[in-house]
Amino acid sequence: MKTPEDSVVIMTEIVYPNDTNPMGILQGGKLMHWMDTASAICAQTHSENISVTASIDRVAFKKPIYLGDIVTIKAKITRAFETSMEIYIEVKARTVKKAENILTNTAYFTFVALSDNKKPTKVPALKPVSDIEIEEYKNALKRKTFSHI
Ligand SMILES: CC(C)(COP(=O)(O)OP(=O)(O)OC[C@H]1O[C@@H](n2cnc3c(N)ncnc32)[C@H](O)[C@@H]1OP(=O)(O)O)[C@@H](O)C(=O)NCCC(=O)NCCS
């Protein structure tokens, strides 16, 4: 059975002038694009199928990320359901001159795996291993139930 570590994605980007607003702050849409890409790779690695974004929970922009900062986006699957998967995203940023990574964003993305005829298709089961993974696995069911009310 597949574990969350089997499909974890760590993506690193640097903020260039084209990614920012006139104050040199990373645009929210650009960051969302990176988060979507990292979580899509994670979902597709787990499901071994093309997977589409079905929903994104509330995304908070807790701290600004600036021009030249180095951004690390980590995507990890929390649970596989029938055809959908929940992916947890954590974004951290640091300046070139300071090694300290600051947590700037977190979010949960839901992806649905598609068959070759573009219909939702079954995904492999997930076996959480660590205490945090087991906790996330349990909470993912609550989030799925809540999001469909
Ligand atoms: C996501 C999509 C494939 C679901 O298709 P559907 O025919 O409505 O699917 P179903 O009702 O049979 O549900 C299939 C799964 O999707 C989940 N799902 C459907 N809509 C969802 C939503 N808005 N949020 C979270 N999960 C959702 C269901 O809970 C179900 O999960 P499960 O099988 O693990 O229990 C379809 O709505 C779609 O193609 N949306 C557009 C996706 C897209 O273009 N994304 C951006 C580009 S990647």
What is the model's pLDDT at position 149? 52
Which has the higher per-residue pLDDT, 59 or 53? 53
DSSP 27: P
Residue 105 CA to residue 27 CA, distance in Å, equals 13
120 lines ligand 1 (CB under 6 A): yes
Question: pLDDT by residue (tens digit) across 101-113?
Answer: 999 999 999 999 9
The answer to whether residue 6 scores a pLDDT higher than 80 is yes
Sheet with 70-80, edge to edge strand ranges: 9-14, 70-80, 84-94, 102-113, 51-56
The number of domains in the chain is: 1
CA of 122 to the centre of ligand 1 (A): 12
Q: Is 41:85 a contact under the CB 8 Å cutoff?
A: no
CA of 48 to the centre of ligand 1 (A): 17
Q: Which of 54-58, 131-135, 143-147 has the lowest mean pLDDT?
A: 143-147
pTM score? 0.95
DSSP 98: -
Residue 119 CA to residue 8 CA, distance in Å, equals 25
Query: Average pLDDT of 29-39?
Result: 98
What is the model's pLDDT at position 62? 87
Residue 15 CA to residue 24 CA, distance in Å, equals 9
The answer to whether residue 147 scores a pLDDT higher than 80 is no
CATH number of the CATH domain containing 66 = 3.10.129.10
112 lines ligand 1 (CB under 6 A): yes
Give the burial class of 6: count Cβ atoms within 10 A of its Cβ; 0-12 exposed, 13-18 middle, 19 or more buried: middle
The answer to whether residue 148 scores a pLDDT higher than 80 is no
106 lines ligand 1 (CB under 6 A): no
Q: Which residue among 37, 78, 84 has the greatest number of ligand 1 atoms within 8 angstroms of its CB, and so is best to mutate?
A: 84
Tokens of 79: 């649970």
Per the structure, the complete domain to which residue 134 belongs is given by 4-147
32 Rama class: left (phi>0) / alpha (psi -120 to 50) / beta: alpha
